[in-house]
Amino acid sequence: MTEYEHYEAVVVGAGPGGAAAAAVLARNGIETLVLERGVDAGSKNVSGGLLYAEESAPYTIDDLFPDFREEAAERPITEYHLHNIAGKKVKSFDITDLHEHDTEWSDAVLRRKMDSWLAGRVHEMTRETGGGLLTGVRVNGLLREKGKIVGVTCDELDPITADLIVAADGVNSELARQAGLMDWDEPEEWFQGVKAVAEMPADVIAERFDISENEGIAHLFSGNLFGNVRGGGFLYTNQESLSIGTVFHLDSLMEERAEPHQLLDNLLTHPLLADWLGNDYTELEYSAKLVPDSKKVAHTSPFKDNLVLVGDAAGQMQAQGPIIKGMNHAVTAGALAAEAFAEARARGDIEAVGQRYTDKLYDEGVMKKLRPRGYQVARRVGENGPAEGILDGLLTSPVGRLGVRALGGRLEKLYSAPSLSMMVPDTQTPYVTLPTVIAEELGTRISTESEVTPPSLADRIGNLTYDTDVGNPHIKLLDNSLEASGAAVTACPVSAMDFGGGCYREETIMVDGKEERIVSLDTQPCVECGTCAVVAETKWEHPRGEKGVEFKWG
């Protein structure tokens, strides 16, 4: 085999999972190279985003980077509320107890600020062991020798070999897919998140949300303001901005032909948010990403040869009930993978690193959180058409409504029960039917009118920063028929049925004298979420290093 540049460890992706892996590797004196495809770490990353530090976790981000919270985070989230909505009627629950369960702390974060700060620390640490961090490098594949994974290939560099490869390259990980460990086959295995970052001075946040400068608040939203799409909305306070977004099951978006940007607008313009957003709404950035549903896709053995998967690349995103945790699990997984390699290296048995890493995920209780047994039971009972229909029918009946009224305040306690939150089935019942009935029967009518006018989709795209890779499209339509790829027209967060400037568009052409509806593609406005890879017949890959969209906030 050709002699290529060699490192003991190569980490692909400089997000929290990659940063954690690199930090632990460097602490153990292991020569580590970190490769990041963005112009800067965080420029390709999007999160809701709350970063948790769990009391039960073997590693937290501030364990590895002690000044993280002071330097890289936004506000500590000290209150957590869930709002059940039916039209203008709202019933709110304080579920801070659920938020604080097994929680040492939880901070709002913005990925560009957070990841770029982490990357600076990682570069310093890895340089001391003979490595470093390089941005603008897209790892495009796995290098194999006699069928075994031995390194990575890149667009911008010659191939690199390594004793350990950490795939921390996110939900759209090409390495995970090339290794045959993950796929994009089933829409029901994914969520799609869409987010707006809105400008708001710290003193205005303090006044409108009734919090101090050292406090933050989280609001979640469910019910019928999103139609029948399964999912909900969120609002988190940052230091001088708000993160407002929606997260929905991808298969539900497809079934309802819902348009993500419009669902976000439904939230932004709801009267409940009127006093918070006021009449001076200024949107700084629009973004989107796919989110793995760990209950279905968290890989139970996330390795092959000397390749290990961490974070979203391994499907390690926990979404049980109203609590969403992903970045903290990426940190834990990255650190455990590095720890496993350090131990295997010390024993002269680096071939055992993958299994050792997997064992740690189970021994430390990570897999128990990602694939909770309670959900598996609830899924078998609740996630079938007849059972869902019967339950929804009961809830909306006079008897069901009477039961909701009888439970009254006890519902808030039930929503705050960790064991129940881990059992929530992926049906309309918990996302739409139940919260709507709760609001109708127990809620208060909101009299305020919203004065928010969200930007148009064209303006949102126009406000993003792109470096288009002219002549090298990263997505190619394999089948342009409406049947095969039409779902992308509505599911893509920068496309819409009545909008001709997004990625995917419906067109009418004449074929043999007959009209035929087809789909066309323009990758220039792509936000690289990967939605179309799941819902359309496409060949999808990341753009080359530094090319494509660049998020300023994330």
With bands split at pLDDT 50, 70 and 90, how would you rate the model's confidence at 367? very high
Question: Side-chain half-sphere of 452: how many Cα atoms within 13 Å?
Answer: 24
What's the pLDDT band for 422 if we cut at 50, 70, 90? confident
What is the model's pLDDT at position 392? 87
Cα 269 from chain centroid (whole Å): 23
Residue 391's pLDDT is 87
515 falls in which pLDDT band (50, 70, 90)?
Answer: confident
- Above 70 in pLDDT, residue 506? yes
pLDDT over 80 at 510, yes or no: no
CB 192 within 8 A of CB 317: no
What was the pLDDT predicted at 514?
81
DSSP 201-246: -HHHHHHHHT--TT-EEEEEEEEGGGTT-SEEEEEEE-SSEEEEEE
Q: What is the pLDDT of residues 272-292, one digit of tens each?
A: 999 999 999 999 999 999 999
Over 90: is that where the pLDDT of 472 sits? yes
pLDDT for residue 493 is more than 80: yes
**Is residue 221 over pLDDT 90?**
yes
**In the prediction, which pLDDT does 388 show?**
76
Give me the phi and psi of 514, to 5 degrees please.
-120, 145
Q: Which two tokens stand for residue 9?
A: 């460890």
Query: Residue 1 — pLDDT band, cuts 50, 70, 90?
Result: low
For the chain, give the mean pLDDT: 95
Backbone angles phi, psi at 250, to 5 degrees: -65, -40
The pTM score is 0.96
Q: Which of 323, 300, 296, 326 is nearest to 422 (CA)?
A: 323
Calpha distance 62→39 (Å, rounded): 25
**What is the reported pLDDT for 353?**
98
pLDDT, average across residues 171-199: 96
The answer, yes or no, to whether residue 482 has pLDDT greater than 80, is yes
Classify the C-alpha dihedral 15-16-19-21 as positive or negative. negative
pLDDT in tens, 98-144: 999 999 999 999 999 999 999 999 999 999 999 999 999 999 999 99
Report the percentage of the chain scoring pLDDT > 90.
90
Phi and psi torsions of 63, nearest 5°: -65, -40
